[in-house]
Each structure stands twice: as C-alpha cells, then as structure tokens.
Chain A
C-alpha cells in the first residue's frame, strides 16, 4: 500500500476558455494527490489561465458547441457567453472546486511546477495582448519548447 512511485506527468494547457482550463487543473491536482510529479506548461491561449488580468475572468462560450442544448442562433445572442459562464462557474463551485487562481495556488502549494511558453509569451507581447508582468507569481518561469522536452523526459504527457 502507498508504495513510492516514480511517475511523472506533464500537462500542456493550450486553451483559455473556462471549460478547457479546468480539465488540466483538475488532472494536475489529482495527480499530485496521488504522489505523482506534475509539470504544467501553458501555451497559446492557455496563457490566459496564468495571466493575472484574465485568470479569474475566463469564459465559457456556448456558440459553436454541438453539445450545448441551445442552437447557435440563441447561443450567439448578446450576453449569452456571460450567462453560460456564470452558470458553469456556479456549478463548479457547487462541486467545491476552487476558482482558477485558487486552484493554481493549490497546485503550486502541492509541489506542482507551472511554466509559461516563451514563444507564446513573446508573440502575445508583440501583439500587445500581454506583458511578462501579467504572468502569475506562482509560475516558475518562461521556457521554450526544447526546455519543455528536457523537463518532460520520461513523463506522460497530456495535451489539452
């Protein structure tokens, strides 16, 4: 029982919508609870999850999602994204899952390592969409894809 494992998990978060942020956070936290070594790599739109200005305002977009029980013509009406986001946030809270920032704190406190993708940070910086100062303090560093390859040696990788 509880034998020491040498398991490593790397999760790449590439999406910045609320519904695509949670799977990575939940899996990272679950892995840490199992004693698995965890590294999270935030790239492209996934950077929103660790962007201080955006992390607590991620949205769930109902349009273009065939799983939604409402047609696109309704989902695309003004304000529908905010309504859908509020409903999803309420349901997440009901299950006692924390908000994004608190979730990142939990993961970092549990020993999970957070990294931002250098190429994406440079690109968004160039497009005036974010600055390096916007990156959440719990993020260990901004690293390139080759650094990620070194970090993820012998790890299982999940791409979200």
Chain B
C-alpha cells in the first residue's frame, strides 16, 4: 500500500499499483492516471471506462476484455487501439479498479 498525490488528491494504491479504493476515483484522477501511462482520454476511452466502473460495481471484479467486448459492445480492435499493449490492465488502472484477474 502506498499513497500518491494524483490530481490534488491523496490516492492510495495497492501492492499491484492499482487504486486501493475505487471510490476515491473521479474524472480528474482518471485523466491524471491515463496521462501517467501516455494516454489522452477521448469519448471512446470514457465509454470503456464508464462501462468498466458500472460493471465493477455490479460484479465486484474488473471486467475481462471479452466482457468489455460482448457486454460493453466495444470491439477487440478498438480496445487495443485505445489502450495499446495491455488493454485490460490499463483500463482497470485508469478506471480506478483492482488488477483484473480474468484470463480472457
């Protein structure tokens, strides 16, 4: 567990480097986290992020990439373009969720 100042807020991170409490998250935090990993958020990114947060609240786990595609309606190709080289983990990171545990 560590605390870092993100967008003017003291945010706690877990041992994996993901936000420890997804309730500390807001839009400014997401933008700062995204810029940390070289991503500038567009509406297409927000669609994915919002789906992931809603799904996390309902399911208690960060959605798998396949779930973002089949339930969230975002094609695989788009996910790899929006969050290159590691889309599932990068989305979870920016959305303030725990590291995803799914294999797909």
Instruction: Tell whether A2 pairs with B80 under 8 Å between CB atoms, given A35-B86, A98-B66.
Output: no
Q: By DSSP majority rule, is chain B's interface helix, strand, loop, or mixed?
A: helix
A109 adjacent to chain B (CB < 8 Å): yes
Contact with A2, one of B67, B70, B76, B89 (Cβ below 8 angstroms): B89
Question: Which of A25-33, A52-60, A147-155 forms part of the interface with chain B?
Answer: A25-33
Closest CB in chain B relative to A54 CB, distance in Å: 23
When the two chains form their complex, are residues A33 and B65 in contact, meaning their CB atoms are under 8 A apart? yes
A133 adjacent to chain B (CB < 8 Å): no
Instruction: Tell whether A109 pairs with B86 under 8 Å between CB atoms, given A29-B104, A96-B66, A96-B67.
Output: no
Q: How many residues of B sit at the interface, in one of the four size bands?
A: 20 to 34
When the two chains form their complex, are residues A2 and B77 in contact, meaning their CB atoms are under 8 A apart? no
Using Cβ atoms and an 8 Å threshold, which residues of chain A touch B103?
26, 30
A1 adjacent to chain B (CB < 8 Å): yes
Using a CB–CB cutoff of 8 Å, the interface residues on chain A facing chain B are 1-2, 4-5, 26, 29-30, 32-35, 95-98, 105-106, 109-111
The 7 closest A-B pairs by CB, nearest first: A35-B85, A109-B76, A35-B86, A109-B77, A1-B17, A2-B37, A106-B76
Q: Would you give 29 A-B contacts (Cβ < 8 Å), ordered by A?
A: A1-B36, A1-B37, A1-B93, A2-B37, A2-B85, A2-B90, A5-B85, A26-B103, A29-B104, A30-B103, A33-B65, A33-B86, A33-B88, A33-B89, A35-B85, A95-B104, A96-B67, A96-B104, A97-B104, A98-B66, A105-B76, A106-B66, A106-B69, A109-B75, A109-B80, A110-B76, A110-B77, A110-B80, A111-B80
